[in-house]
Amino acid sequence: MFKTTLVQPAKRRGQLLIEFAVCIPALVLLVFGAIEFSGYVSLSDSANMAGLEGARAASLVAATEQEARQAAEQILQAHGVKQFQVSFSPPLESADRGDTIECFVEVPIRDNSRLLGRLSSDRQIVSQAFMVKQ
């Protein structure tokens, strides 16, 4: 029997190489973009959880600002967030029962990005949570 082999012409091989060279950068950009976006979503969720936990701790009857800040910081540290800032408005020492306590959590994207955040501008994720003082 005769053995047949498929031989691609050189023109077809060159075309495949060009298509590969055009598609690979787009695919790499898509993959790294998806990874970076998932990191931003995770960072935002961490800031939201920390804000809620800080506001919850601040709304308790005998809560101090130190205890409330520590509650928010524990959440952020458990999620591996770096260079964050937690603040409260109004100051807990002057808040009365029934006042609305706001907890603000600011997290810089540049210091917490996994891939390309170091190339981005100085943007921050800001989370704000409200609770009523008990």
Give the pLDDT confidence of 52-67 residue by residue, as tens digits. Answer: 999 999 999 888 899 9
Q: What is the pTM of this model?
A: 0.77
- The domain ranges of the chain are 11-132
> For the sheet containing 124-132, what is the strand order?
85-89, 100-108, 124-132
67-81 pLDDT, tens per residue? Answer: 999 999 999 999 999
pLDDT at 47: 96
Residue 5 in this model has a pLDDT that exceeds 80: no
Tokens of 103: 């907890």
Cα–Cα distances in Å, from 110 out to 25, 31, 34, 45, 120? 24, 20, 17, 17, 7
Whether residue 117 has pLDDT greater than 70: no
**Is the pLDDT score of 4 beyond 80?**
no
Q: Is the confidence at residue 12, as pLDDT, over 60? A: yes
Instruction: Say whether pLDDT at 11 is over 80.
Output: no
DSSP collapsed to 3 states, the chain = CCCCCCCCCHHHHHHHHHHHHHHHHHHHHHHHHHHHHHHHHHHHHHHHHHHHHHHHHHCCCCCCHHHHHHHHHHHHHHCCCCCCEEEEECCHHHCCCCCEEEEEEEEEHHHHCCCCHHHCCCCEEEEEEEEECC
Answer yes or no: is pLDDT of 114 > 80: no
Angle of helix 65-78 versus helix 10-58 axis, rounded to 10: 160
